[in-house]
């Protein structure tokens, strides 16, 4: 499965690395590609993962998932 997540709060390459690392640690996530310019992450998973789960992974950061498709 592939999901595109809109992410609020990313401003630099360090932000991209943090989001990528946090999302990669979620069980079921196989690949994460973060697009700083597009303010989004494309995530490939082997099971359904809720938007809330992605936000939980970002809980203590300045980032937030604000939509998905």
Average pLDDT over residues 40-51: 97
Decide if pLDDT at 69 tops 90.
Answer: no
Decide if pLDDT at 15 tops 90.
Answer: yes
- What average pLDDT does the chain have? 97
Residue 49 burial by Cβ neighbours in a 10 Å radius (0-12, 13-18, 19+): buried
Structural tokens at position 2? 């592939």
CATH architecture of 2-68: 2-Layer Sandwich (3.30)
Decide if pLDDT at 14 tops 90.
Answer: yes
Are 22 and 57 in contact by the 8 Å Cβ rule? The answer is yes
């Amino acid at each position: 499965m592939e999901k595109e997540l809109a992410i609020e709060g990313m401003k630099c390459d360090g932000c991209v690395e943090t989001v990528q690392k946090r999302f990669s640690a979620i069980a079921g996530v196989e690949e994460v590609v973060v697009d700083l310019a597009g303010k989004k992450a494309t995530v490939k998973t082997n099971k359904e993962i809720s938007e809330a789960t992605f936000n939980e992974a970002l809980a203590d950061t300045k980032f937030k998932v604000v939509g998905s498709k």
